[in-house]
Chains A and B, each alone.
Chain A
Amino acid sequence: MALATRTDRRPSLARTVWDSTVGKKTVMAVSGFVMLLYLVAHMIGNLKIFFGPEEINHYAHWLRTVGEPFMHYEWTLWLIRVVLVVAVVAHATSAYQLSRRDIRARPTKYANRKAGRSFATRTMRWGGVILGLFIVWHILDLTTGTVHPGGYEHLHPYQNIIDTFSTWYGNVVYIVAVVALGFHVRHGLWSAAQTLGVGSRSRDRALKTVANVLALLLTAGFVAVPVGVMTGVVS
């Protein structure tokens, strides 16, 4: 006599993903990957500062006209902004919920604690919080100009950037955040690959190398700007 051992009613795809720890990790991996793509483009764009005000200011203008005449002025930019906000919110919400769950799952610490994991792994949560706060400051500083140290001028990133990096705190906050970003990407990229199931034993070395190199390039590329300003290469 065959007996049914399972019910076939299953929740929807979205529910399955959002209700599962593996699903939430997938959300984090995908949103992280979107942000990473953006960061690479952002970093490359930043480097234009080394080629003078014309080049980078023109770039800032171009960003608003991408897709014309199909897109209206700034539509593409806003589209990117919306995608990024969704990615940040999804990433942060998942991270918050997963962290809460993780802490609940392991409420008691061992009397004899061992620091086994790598620095990047241990700092994912705090690194994420630092990056979140940094993003807020960064937007208020260089996008809206709300907390900008000099006279903020729309569409003149060259001068705005020099203003920011002319203050000690601007440099400190930025460099700390970018270093945190490097560590975050280093573990995050490799980890996202595992979450999405693209890692494998034969690919692991290559994957780790890619994560390390990308993390290093991003850190170096972003840090180059404040260093450029501080050393007077950009002025």
Chain B
Amino acid sequence: MTTYADYTTGDPVADTKAPSGPVNERWDTRRFEAKLVNPANRRKQTVIVVGTGLAGGSAGATLAEQGYRVVQFCYQDSPRRAHSIAAQGGINAAKNYRNDGDSVHRLFYDTVKGGDFRSRESNVHRLAQISVEIIDQCVAQGVPFAREYGGLLDTRSFGGVQVSRTFYARGQTGQQLLLGAYQALSRQIAAGNIEMHPRTEMLDLVVVDGRARGIVARDLITGKIDTYFADAVVLATGGYGNVFYLSTNAMNSNATAVWRAHRRGAWFANPCFTQIHPTCIPRTGDHQSKLTLMSESLRNDGRIWVPKAKGDDRPPNEIPEGERDYYLERIYPSFGNLVPRDIASRAAKNVCDEGRGVGPGGQGVYLDFADAIERMGRKAVEAKYGNLFDMYQRITDEDPYRVPMRIYPAVHYTMGGLWVDYDLQTTVPGLFAIGEANFSDHGANRLGASALMQGLADGYFVLPATINDYLARNPHKDEVDDDHPAVQEVVAETEDRLNLLLSVDGDRTPDSFHRELGELMWEFCGMARTDSGLRKALERIPQIREEFWRRIKVPGTGEEFNQSLEKANRVVDYLELAELMCLDALHRSESCGGHFREESQTPDGEAARRDDEFGYAAAWEFTGTGDAPTLHKEDLVFEYVHPTQRSYA
């Protein structure tokens, strides 16, 4: 009997859309080679955009400006609420306003290196090129970036980068950028160029004759399941971090759209590449529903430590200096508390696993500002971090000016996603994936302040240029309607799935399954992964899935506003996606970026990459629920940034 872990390796996959030639000319070349759609014909072509975050919002607005008919969806009550809004830190751009040696090439270099050599050079270079246009665009929209007294834009250095290239709007950069995109979107909605469907969730993809032609979506208020047809479908539905139950994602962020697309033929790349953010507020108990991130800028001045002795439960201020272990400063003397996210996260896990963690359940480490307050004065600390300290105090009821903060790593971002080519098109023709939903630009690890950059680059500039080529080559001809057998089939499947969920009438809530899955994933597919742990998870997940379909309880009906039904349906997809994440993590027996395999480390405990064996992106093809998928490897070629092993010691 073959198990899920006995995957087969299929033909390699290549990105056929990326032009060759010098890396800095590829984007221009591609834009020139791409066919255009006559402006008069654009109105006849419909594009569905799912999601209204930075990527979806900017894409919808831009496509509508170009003259396409856009039909857009979000599950929230308003397109303004997408989770991009919660990004705090900032957005990178190679403007070199500081004259500190930054350039497009340096941003390109930093991003490829930061991604631990698991991303594509062509894509990353394009991202760095476009970064400068994004800032121009956002300023023109009225995004209130921080400014200097001279009226020019302020920047800061972020995430251990040596240049100051991060533009920000206090601690609410994501909010301000998202509102900019939302306002552009609103303008097009008012002009009648976008048909907006809020509180409508995509439940499946309609593929007709091998092409993406529409979606099946549920009106969350009436429960009505409807079909929407188009000439192309764009998924901008974000990441899948909520597989872990506890993450910094919004409660309703989910993987249904990408997973359903995957089931319909879109390959899923590098699902095991997840980013764990080191500075989140630890959980307080089983009731915890989500985790809150605090900007990692806190590590610039805070010192991280745990007691030297196991089980030392004295209050932090009573532990003498000599009995504290400033472990990051000890292990990484040159970078200290500023080591990259994955290293800081793993080190915290290690000390907690040793039994030296602090706070409830021993799942936390101290981030101490006592020295900073002594050195800079309370006033200066307040000016720099006041809002973060307030937020911490509101959530924990502890005063970080007097007691050290407690922090613990949490799932934050997923670098993996639907496999896309240089045009951001998935393996299903006519289906595009942008923003966090695709896998393309961050490799195995994302740099701070780069998520906003990628979302907006994809939505404002990349997709609107590349989708033309697809639409021009596949002019609108054949109508699809509800009578088409392929459409009837997908609608019936969707309805059956929801009806089944409602009819089981078991004794466990959707949340209880989600929590159980999340704990399993955090344990075995979280910060550190092992062959045996991943195998255990792969054994357990089908059991949970089986139990789910036996014991799930969803009250109410499908023909009404039913949040339990929404939740249960999302858990169905998590239960399948989790399995693929574990398999991907199992097959990639090297460590790289956010993926740490304990078997693959250097003598001093660092991640050991194995470029010869794993210098590829892993694109998985779906073969059936619980059936071993097929792996397609995309070899990654590095012509400009040559792979080196990271060293932070």
Contact = CB atoms under 8 A, between A and B. Distances in A.
Direct contact of A and B (CB under 8 A): yes
Interface of A: 1, 3-5
B66 A3 contact: no
Interface stretch (B94-102, B187-195, B628-636): B187-195
B191 A1 contact: no
A1 B41 CA distance: 12
A5 B42 contact: no
A169 to B, nearest CB: 57
A5 B64 CA distance: 12
B360 interface: no
Interface in B1-49: 39, 42
Nearest to B67: A1
A1 B42 contact: yes
A4 B67 CA distance: 12
A200 B65 CA distance: 39
7 contacts: A1-B42, A1-B65, A3-B65, A3-B67, A3-B191, A5-B190, A5-B191
Contacts of A3: 65, 67, 191, 193
A157 to B, nearest CB: 61
Given A1-B42, A3-B67, A5-B190, 11 more contacts: A1-B39, A1-B65, A1-B66, A1-B67, A3-B65, A3-B191, A3-B193, A4-B191, A5-B187, A5-B188, A5-B191
Interface string B185-204: 00110110100000000000
B183 to A, nearest CB: 12
Contacts of B191: 3-5
A5 B189 CA distance: 9
Interface of B: 39, 42, 65-67, 187-188, 190-191, 193
Main secondary structure of the interface of A (DSSP, over half): loop
A178 to B, nearest CB: 48
A62 to B, nearest CB: 59
Contacts of A4: 191
Contacts of B65: 1, 3
Nearest to B193: A3
A3 B43 CA distance: 12
Nearest to A3: B191
A56 to B, nearest CB: 61
- In the A-B complex, the 6 residue pairs with the smallest Cβ-Cβ separation, listed nearest first, are A5-B191, A1-B67, A1-B39, A3-B191, A5-B187, A5-B190
A197 B229 CA distance: 50
A1 B38 CA distance: 11
Contacts of A1: 39, 42, 65-67
A1 B193 CA distance: 12
A109 to B, nearest CB: 24
A204 to B, nearest CB: 24
Nearest to A4: B191
A156 to B, nearest CB: 66
Nearest to A2: B65
Contacts of B187: 5
A83 B187 CA distance: 45
A1 B188 CA distance: 12
Nearest to B42: A1
Contacts of A5: 187-188, 190-191
A1 B36 CA distance: 14
B309 to A, nearest CB: 51
B182 to A, nearest CB: 15
A1 to B, nearest CB: 4
A3 to B, nearest CB: 5
B497 to A, nearest CB: 38
A196 B42 CA distance: 47
Nearest to B191: A5
A46 B522 CA distance: 83
A13 B48 CA distance: 42
